[in-house]
Structure 1
């Protein structure tokens, strides 16, 4: 999906958030923007490395492993994962905040009138989806633990395993034969 409209709309409204929402919501929005910027940077680096390794790769797993190792940035990847987990905990807390969903719904008309419908739909859908998860006993904790376990295992593999093992395991994950 192309999120260009949503991202541009977020940029236009970011300053207004400070006057309309409680500080915890503002802090989460800022943390989301920082996470988004870091992810975009890492994704751009991966995309460039993917293109460089494309001509020589026998499979997507070999190409991905080569791109990942070219980009490196283990600290940035670990930081990105920590930000994702913190964001998940923040969202779980915010979805339990009384009145916040109603406030978000009340913004629908003004958001559409201001040409920010894509951002509004994204915020409402995300809030509702995460809210459903937060209402399940242990749902958020299990969801975030699964993300952490899988991402740490993948990072350890991509950074530390020998190239052939890494490529073979990644190919199996992707359903490719080596």
Structure 2
């Protein structure tokens, strides 16, 4: 089993990577491009999983993924809390939460790295190209296919681990008992992440079909965005984005 010292080292390493990206983006006026990329991706996710969002069983788990993993939100408060307690993770929270925290911060660092790299190409492409074409061209110039596949693999592992952990009633009870101490210690954002994930996957029950759907759809999008003829890829993304329009 991995020790909490190595948990701490991994967590802090991932969070330092994210902090460095934020600083770099602010210094290079890239923040607006990063936000544009995140908004477009969030719009595509909403369309791609609109069927899951309409199901009372899958909606909480989908909302957890879209809000806590791929969200447009500023996660700096949660990052600060994770970094602050990384070295005492097993003392403050049940030990089984350690690897979940590592997965979250790896996913966070991967997502931010890819979003910032994509945004650097988005910035220099003409806006007249249209959002779909601009995004796909930026995606292809960015490359990083292996990182995209790793991002999807980490999501799958997190989902499977959340399903396993939610079956441990003592762990869920322990998390609920941590609510007030966590709030008093200024760890409310971290507590919210943990509880929302556990509650969502407890409501989901067997997560295999849900996770398989995400794996299949995202693998198809990875293939389309990398390999499909540009006109076909742009048409498909335009159609998908229009489905999520208000």
What's the TM-score once normalised by structure 1's chain length? 0.88
Equivalent of 1:3 in 72, 75, 78: 75
2:85 equivalent in structure 1: 13
Instruction: Please state if 1:30 is matched with 2:102.
Output: yes
Instruction: Please state if 1:47 is matched with 2:114.
Output: no
CA RMSD of aligned residues (A): 1.7
* 1:101-135: CA deviation from partner (whole Å, max 9, x where unpaired): 111111111111111212212221221112111x2
Equivalent-residue separation in structure 2 for 1:70 and 1:129 (angstroms): 36
Instruction: Please state if 1:172 is matched with 2:172.
Output: no
Instruction: Please state if 1:142 is matched with 2:206.
Output: no
Structure 2 unaligned residues grouped into runs of 5+: 1-72
Structure 1 unaligned residues grouped into runs of 5+: none
CA drift of 1:56 comes to: 4.3
Number of residue pairs the alignment of both structures matches = 171
What's the TM-score once normalised by structure 2's chain length? 0.65
Instruction: Please state if 1:72 is matched with 2:139.
Output: no
Instruction: Please state if 1:102 is matched with 2:173.
Output: yes
Equivalent of 2:192 in 96, 115, 121: 121
* 1:127-150: CA deviation from partner (whole Å, max 9, x where unpaired): 1112111x2xx4x11111111111
Equivalent-residue separation in structure 2 for 1:66 and 1:40 (angstroms): 19
CA drift of 1:21 comes to: 4.7
Choose 1 or 2 for highest CA Rg: 1
The verdict on how the C-alpha distance between 1:125 and 1:105 changes in structure 2, with shifts beyond 3 A counting, is same
2:160 equivalent in structure 1: 89
Kindly report structure 1 stretches of 4+ aligned residues shifted beyond 6 Å.
Answer: none
